[in-house]
Chains A and B, each alone.
Chain A
């Protein structure tokens, strides 16, 4: 398969790698199972074992929950999930079109403080190798989260060849 372009918001294009999934969805709780199934499938295509695939599912599920609960405050709204593969990582782009969130408020809490809630961000950071909030393309509102997880060693591109 050839490298493709991710058109995450209908605007500027980012060259990112091989496209595995693009899904526009209404950000509500009843879509989460479908998202988990699709993410697990994409992880399998990249050669992740079941434990790493489960970790990726956890991260994307929690990131989607943040959109549902915090960005759209439970009222629903458009979001786009893209999953791509580059030479050595699987990359997840998650874009919502809500008001920009205050990044200062997105912090994992201390696990020593045992209380309900506040674990989602910790899970995402614990299982992913990279977690970044990007600027959405010019003229497009919302929040754009990029997650990356390294591929298993034997699935990485070596000298341009995948094993």
Chain B
């Protein structure tokens, strides 16, 4: 897994690429929690996520809950098909705000 953090127009975009699995989810968790701590709006670009497991999903949920607690925005954007399947299995597709594109998530 690779990830990239970009600040744009007051928001932080965290883009993941590859497999967000048990081996890499600690790094994903740190990136997400750090971004939520630094910005009022975090957009997670999931277009290049080839696989995500329950540990990766747990990182997303934790960051989402931290953001909500602090009244901040937390959006998943351009979610890839494999990632959407896992979100659906966890019924989290009804919990997260999911946007079709990163640009939509910026609005």
Interface residues in chain A, defined as those with a beta carbon under 8 Å from any beta carbon in chain B: 29-30, 32-33, 36, 51, 54-55, 57-58, 61-62, 65, 68-69, 111, 114-120, 122-123, 126-127
Q: How far is the CA of A54 from the CA of B80 in the complex (A)?
A: 13
Q: How many A-B residue pairs have CB under 8 A?
A: 63
Main secondary structure of the interface of B (DSSP, over half): helix
B21 to A, closest residue via Cβ: A32
- Shortest CB-to-CB span from A104 to chain B, Å, is 20
Contacts of A111 in B (CB 8 A): 90-91
Q: Apart from A111-B90, A117-B54, A122-B90, what are 6 other A-B pairs with CB-CB below 8 Å? A: A29-B21, A33-B23, A69-B22, A111-B91, A116-B61, A123-B54
Main secondary structure of the interface of A (DSSP, over half): helix
- Whether B86 is near chain A, meaning CB under 8 Å from some CB there, is yes
- Whether B10 is near chain A, meaning CB under 8 Å from some CB there, is no
Query: Are the C-beta atoms of B53 and A116 separated by less than 8 Å?
Result: no
Q: How far is the CA of A65 from the CA of B57 in the complex (A)?
A: 14
Q: List 24 A-B contacts (CB under 8 A).
A: A29-B21, A29-B23, A32-B21, A36-B51, A51-B85, A54-B82, A54-B85, A58-B53, A58-B86, A58-B89, A65-B53, A65-B55, A68-B22, A69-B22, A114-B61, A115-B61, A115-B65, A116-B58, A119-B57, A119-B89, A119-B90, A120-B53, A122-B90, A123-B86
